[in-house]
Structure 1
Amino acid sequence: MKQSAISKSIIERYLSYRVEHQREYFLHPPYMMEKQLLNAVKEGRVEAAESVLKNINTLERAKLAEVPVRSLRNSLICICTLFTRAAIEAGVPPETAFNISDAHILEIERMETQEKLFELEYSMMRNFTETVRQARKQEHRYSHAIHMAVTYIHENILQVVTLESLAKHVYLNPSYLSHLFKKETGVSVTDYINKKRIEESIYFLLHTNIPISEIALLFHFCNQSYYTSLFKKYMGLTPKEFREQNQY
């Protein structure tokens, strides 16, 4: 009987505590509002997404940590994950979406005040939504075969992609694919792949301490010298200069 009484007392205290703190601990955006926000991101509608986010931010947030700034950081990381998934579902190459996500999460961890975090939340939303908008424009600009080819390049940017492997993926003759690709994109397959690799390598220059020689190998450039020459061709600076000028 004594054990039963103790158990009942503990349960009552727990339920009382939960009722007392439920507004503080269990508040999350209404499902329909969250769905509206993610749909706006998926459709590339920046103004609509911003409007819904403003409405959500008039509500109290769930408490995800004892320290308010840490709680808000955790909340933004959750939102970033949702934005990333929405962008991928909308057609943004996963590698691109994850790179954007990683960069924003690093920024979230750097922010020291709630004001800066709220500013970053809107910037993050606009970045993902604009990326989706650009991806949707690109999808309509290219033929189905070239859209497939471009998507394959983006999704396999850390792998070896050749004209032959690309042609096999889109079920076209390599020679015909080469002609069609340059006609629609304005550049050769090789130039497109190289430029995309250079663009994606920027993330590693800005957000890691990986040596430039290793970044070159990661993106399958034959050596650091070739990587450096291509980087300067597309970005106007060497990788070393770019890293030094953009360090925080």
Structure 2
Amino acid sequence: MQQDVIKQFLNTRKENEETLFAHPSYQLEQELLHWIKQANEEKAKEVLSKINNLEKARLSHYPLRSLKNSLICSCTLFTRATIKAGVTPEYAFDLSDIYIREIEKRDDPMLLQELEYEMVTTFIKAIRDYQTDPYQNEIVDKAVHYIHDHILQPIQLQEIADAANVSANYLSTLFRKIVGFPLIEYINRKKIEESKYFLEHTNSSLLDIAILFAFCNQSYYTALFRKYNGITPKQYKQLRNIG
């Protein structure tokens, strides 16, 4: 096995030399990751465009597979940069899992290229969300971060309180006082808001989305979506000409 890897390495080196291919500079890659960690979307996309204007490495004998592999590498780098910027690993890895699955679903090279820029936007948004302290209260912020980290799971008041090191009753009262509405409503609002990505960018059924976000059933998901948006998930998709 080791001999095979060495042979492939030497063949690849020879092929790259013959075709005058050079990988994008490490400096450009580090510059891209720097701007992601700084949550500077404009600069990050500017550097990404510079990288994409260069010839991509051949990571497979099949062009589409090679492009997908390249995007998975990008997703991995973006995930690490996001974690270094302060986002919890669990949340960053959840985003990574979602995007890698989406990469595998797409077969149009143009849509795949667009997805790479979308990843930059999403990971930077996650960084901004974690760097923002909208409520100016440590306990509430701990609760909010816990909810964000576990948004795809059933979330109970007691486990959030444990994460914030306070009693459930105290957290419930404090959260409502500072945020303006009950904690359970915040959880539902956040789940509904996050579910819009899957309505906009995937072919997932409403049932699959309801299950993904740990709603008890599709009807409850639809009812909550209508409550907070004034329209059903199906109408939301239609308004955006999706699916």
CA deviation map 1:91-132 (0-9, x unaligned): 44644763476257526753534x554444334323322332
For 2:38, the equivalent position in structure 1 comes to: 43
Normalised to the residue count of structure 1, the TM-score between the two structures is 0.74
Distance 1:51 1:189 in 2: 39
TM-score by length of 2: 0.75
Amino acid at match of 2:131: R
Q: 2:179 aligns with which of 174, 185, 188?
A: 185
Instruction: Give the superposition deviation at 1:185.
Output: 2.6
**Structure whose alpha-carbon radius of gyration is higher:** 1
Moved more, 233-242 or 85-94: 85-94
Query: What's 1:175 paired with?
Result: 169
Contact 1:198 1:230 in 2 (8 A): yes
Measured in 1, the distance between the counterparts of 2:114 and 2:213 equals 33
Rate the CA distance shift 1:175–1:136 in 2: closer, same or farther, 3 A: same
Give the superposition deviation at 1:149.
Answer: 0.8
Bigger relative contact order (CA 8 A; separation at least 6): 1
2:222 counterpart residue number: 228
Letter in 2 for 1:170: A
Look up the equivalent residue of 2:38 and give its one-letter code.
Answer: E
Which residue in the other structure is 1:165 paired with? Answer: 159
- Structure 2 match to 1:126: 121
* RMSD value, Cα: 3.5
Checking the alignment, whether the CA contact within 8 Å between 1:83 and 1:125 is kept in structure 2 is yes
In the superposition, relative to structure 1, how do residues 49 and 15 fare at CA in structure 2: closer, same or farther (>3 Å)?
Answer: closer
The CA distance in 2 between the partners of 1:15 and 1:160, in whole Å, is: 47
In structure 2, how many angstroms separate the alpha carbons of the residues matched to 1:100 and 1:15?
A: 28
Write the deviation string for residues 32-85 of structure 1: whole angstroms up to 9, x where unpaired: 332221121122111221232233334332111234344223212211222133
Counting matched residue pairs gives 233
Specify which of 53, 69, 75 is matched with residue 70 of structure 2: 75
Gaps of 5+ in 1: 1-12
- Closer/same/farther in 2, CA of residues 112 and 223 from structure 1, 3 Å limit: closer
Flag structure 2 segments of 5+ consecutive residues without an equivalent.
Answer: 1-6
Does 1:150 find its partner at 2:106? no
Preserved contact between residue 206 and residue 218 of structure 2 (Cα < 8 Å): no
> 1:193-232: CA deviations, max 9, x gaps?
11122233445556354562x6545544444433322110
Q: What is the aligned-residue identity percentage?
A: 41
| C-alpha contact (below 8 Å) 1:205/1:243 kept by paired residues | yes
1:171 to partner: Cα distance: 1.3
Residue in structure 2 matched with residue 8 of structure 1 by the alignment: none
- SS of the residue 1:142 aligns to: coil
